[in-house]
Amino acid sequence: MRATRLISTGNVQTIDTDAPTRGDADIVVKVEAAGICGTDRHLYKGEFPSVANTILGHEFSGIVTDAGNSDLQIGTRVTCDPNTWCGACNQCRKGRVNLCVNNIATGIARDGGFAEYCAFPAHKAHVLPPDLNPLHGALCEPLACTLHGMDLGLPQAYERVIVIGGGVIGLLAVQLAKKAGAQVMLLTRSTAKQALGQSLGADRVAGSKDEALDQWPHGAELVVECAGVEATVSMSPSITHTGGRVVVLGVLPQGKQVAIEPFDLLFREIQMHYSFLNPFTHERAAQMIANASIEVAPLITRTISLEEVPAVIASDVPAGEVRAIAIP
């Protein structure tokens, strides 16, 4: 089969490879759609830990072709929760499964969804409806991660929320904050992404910190950082209302330092939270995508073939692009 492997940092290729071997606990799916995430670009650049020679792709869904020892039916559409916690380490035993020291992430530490077929643990499959647009299944994983961020930030009705970054995570955060009843501003530089954010419910848009503070001089009770760059993490407290909270979803390269003023955080008691992965949120995300309570179609900018995946991962996100989805 064809599959896209991260051979090593800076070297990603679509090549011929063996079809996956199913382990006892696994199922096999024929991949229908696999999204290219900011994290794939971080993996390519060596900015996020990975395992050499792994087939990338951790945002995907597909049709079960081998149900193994599970009670799933062949032909069922499922989304893969890529994070396979051990259930036995100290963090898992405390319920902090996203901090599992033995987590094996499909598409990062074991072969993933940029492939015609993928084997993954059966208990990590969440069922999707047969009549769902197959592309939409690829958005379950980013929604599950965004749900965890919003579970930490807990936007309330009538609060002000600033979402930084108009990528898929930011545009999902905008929708979740609106569902909570908050007033939402999307802070992102691209005017096309600002317009998309407004069409998805953002009440206001800004292209910079100054534009945000011109509209809300005291900032927002909740700031959700979804850009993953130094400047936006550093600016987050400065657009947060006194007594408010920041949730950082964005991934910065390992070792990167960011300027934060502890005095300001202390004196204004700003809570800084970091949101990692999707603990117990994947089923909720699958249900929300299944019942169309979150709009995902506008987040899909284009579809590409597996042959195009390496070039897309190796380049910056083109202007205006939210999500490119590979169809193997």
> Which stretches of the chain bind ligand NAP, using CB under 6 A?
37-39, 42, 142, 145, 164-170, 187-190, 193, 226-229, 231-232, 249-251, 275-277, 317
* Spatial separation of the C-alpha atoms in residues 204 and 199, rounded to whole Å: 11
**E strands of 51-182, at which residues?**
54-55, 60-66, 77-80, 83-84, 104-105, 117-121, 125-128, 160-164
Q: Which is nearer to ligand NAP, 18 or 210 (CB)?
A: 210
**Which is nearer to ligand NAP, 182 or 233 (by Cβ)?**
233
Q: Which is nearer to ligand NAP, 211 or 269 (CB)?
A: 211
Residue given tokens 């939402």 in the structure block: 184
3-state secondary structure of 223: strand
Nearest approach in angstroms of CB 208 to ligand NAP is: 7
> Cβ of residue 300: shortest distance to ligand NAP, in angstroms?
12
Residue whose tokens read 């300027």: 259
Please give the full DSSP string across 246-265, using - where no structure is assigned. Answer: EEE-PPPPTT------HHHH
Residue nearest to ligand NAP (CB): 167
Three-state DSSP class for 15? Answer: strand
- Reported as half-sphere exposure (CB side, CA atoms, 13 A), residue 300 has a value of 20
Residue 180 CB, nearest approach to ligand NAP (Å): 19
Residue nearer to ligand NAP on the CB measure, 15 or 231: 231
Q: Compare residues 24 and 210 and give the one whose CB is closer to ligand NAP.
A: 210
> Minimal distance in Å, beta carbon 223 to ligand NAP?
12
Query: Cα(165)–Cα(148) distance, rounded to whole angstroms?
Result: 17
Q: Please, which residue, 19 or 317, has the CB nearer to ligand NAP?
A: 317
Determine the residue type at 318. Answer: P
| Nearest approach, Cβ of residue 17 and ligand NAP (Å) | 26
- Summarize the chain as % helix, strand, coil (round to 5): 30, 30, 40
Would you say 38 or 244 has its CB closer to ligand NAP? 38
**Neighbour count for residue 110 (Cβ, 10 Å):** 20
The helix or strand, by DSSP H or E, that contains position 144, with its residue range, turns out to be: helix 140-153
Tell me, what amino acid is at 114?
F
- For residue 118, the minimal CB distance to ligand NAP (Å) is 19
Closer residue to ligand NAP (CB): 153 or 250: 250
Angle at 35 between CA 250 and CA 226, to 5 degrees: 15
Q: How far is the CB of 191 from ligand NAP (least distance, A)?
A: 8
Least distance to ligand NAP from the beta carbon of 187, Å? 6
Give the distance from CA 53 to its chain's centroid. Answer: 22
Q: Which is nearer to ligand NAP, 20 or 279 (CB)?
A: 279
- On the CB side of 161, CA atoms within 13 Å amount to 32
Residues 6+ apart with CB under 8 A from 212: 162, 185, 187, 206, 219, 239
Q: By the 8 A CB rule, do 167 and 148 touch?
A: no
Provide the minimum distance between the beta carbon of 4 and ligand NAP in the complex, in angstroms, as a whole number.
18
